[in-house]
Chains A and B, each alone.
Chain A
Amino acid sequence: MNQALQKRLIEAVATSMIDHAEELTILDQAIGDGDHGLNMRRGFTEVMADVDGLATRPLPEALRAIGTKLVMKVGGASGPLYGTLFLTLGKELPDAPTQADAARALGIAVAAVMARGKSEPGQKTMLDVLAPTQAELAAGGDDLLVRLKTRPAASAEATVPMRAIRGRASFLGERSIGHMDPGARSSSLMIEAVCDVLGG
C-alpha cells in the first residue's frame, strides 16, 4: 500500500476515535463504566503521535504496531479486544491486500476477538458490527463500498434492543436494553472512517 494512503487511513481512524471520545463515553456511562471514549482517545492519541513512522512501515507491520499500542495504552477491556483485532489483521494481511485478502483476514480477526472476549455476535458488543462488515466484504459486489459504509451504523443501531451477555453491561441484565453498545459504535466509526478515505 502506498505510504500517503496508509497515512490517511491511520489518521482518519485515529481522528475519528479522538473526536468521538465524548460520545463514546456518554454511551458507556449508560451501560458500562463510562471510560470507553477516554480509553480509546488515549490509545489513538498514541497512534497519532507516531503516524509518520507508522505510515512508512509495510501495512502488516504498521497494523501490528498499532495493535501493540492499543494493548498497552487503552486499558479497560477494549485495549486487548481492539489490540487483538489489529494484531491479527497485521498477521493475516499482505502488503497490498485485495478485497478477498481483506475478507479472509477480517474473518480470522473477528474469530480472534471472539476468543479474546469469549463472546459471539448477538451479545451486544463490537462483534455485532465487525461480523456483518466481514460478511459484506466476503460477499463483494459492485456497490461494496456503499454497503460497507452504511451497514456498520445500522449494525450498531441494531445493538440498542439487545441484552448484553458479556462485558460490564451484562451486570445490568435487562437494563442494558435500550442503549447502543459503545464498542459497536466505536467499531462502526472506525469502518466508516476507512470507507471515507477509500471512497475518495
Chain B
Amino acid sequence: MGIVIVSHSAKVAEGAADMVRQMVGNSVRVAYTGGNSEGGLGTDVAAIMAAIDHAWSDAGVAILVDLGGAETNSEMAIEMLGADRRDRVVMCNAPIVEGAVIAATEASGGSPLDLVKRAAEELSPET
C-alpha cells in the first residue's frame, strides 16, 4: 500500500512524510508533494499525480491532505489517473500528520485500503 501526503507547503508535506518513515519504517511506500507549480504555497495536480505514481501499489494508495485546494486538486488528480487505477486511490478525511501516521501504521500491518481509510478517519471529529 502507498501513502501520499499533499500539503500547500512543501515543508509540511516533507515533515509529515519524515514522521511517517520514522514511526513506520519503509514497509509502506510514502510520497509527498507541497507547493504550486512555481514553488509558492499551493497544490499542483501534475505533482499530485506524480506522487501517486511514486507511491503506487496494486493494493492501493491513501491520500492525506491539508486545506480545501489540496482536497479539490487531489480529487482532480485521482480522476485523471484513468479508469484502471482510480478505484484503488482513496482520500482520507483526517488531520494530515496524524492521519498519515495512522494510515501508514494500519497499512504496514497488511490491512486493506478501506480499513486504512477508516483508521485514519477515526481521528476526525466529524466522523
By a beta-carbon cutoff of 8 Å, the part of chain A in contact with chain B is 33, 35, 39, 42, 71-73, 75-81, 83-84, 116-117, 166-168
Task: Determine chain A's interface SS by DSSP, over half rule.
Answer: helix
Is B75 close to A, CB under 8 A?
Answer: yes
The chain B residues found within 8 Å of chain A, CB to CB, are 36-38, 40-46, 67-69, 72-73, 75-76, 80
Cross-interface CB contact of A168 among B36, B37, B38, B67, cutoff 8 Å = B67
Please give the distance in Å from B33's CB to the nearest CB on chain A. Answer: 12
Q: Determine whether the beta carbon of A116 is less than 8 Å from that of B76.
A: yes
Q: Are A75 and B72 in contact (CB under 8 A)?
A: no
Contact present for B38 and A42 (CB under 8 Å): yes
Bound-complex Cα distance A71 to B76 (A)? 8
Q: Are A75 and B76 in contact (CB under 8 A)?
A: no
In the complex, chain B residues whose CB is within 8 Å of the CB of A166: 68
Are B75 and A77 in contact (CB-based, < 8 A)? no
8 Å CB contact of A75 from B42, B67, B75: B42
| Interface pair B69/A76, CB less than 8 Å apart | yes
Q: Compute how far the CA of A72 lies from the CA of B80 in the bound complex, rounded to whole angstroms.
A: 11
User: B67 to A39, Cβ gap below 8 A?
Assistant: no
Q: Are the CB atoms of A75 and B69 closer together than 8 Å?
A: yes
Contact yes or no, A72 B73, CB < 8 A: no
A75-B41 Cα distance, complex, nearest whole Å: 9
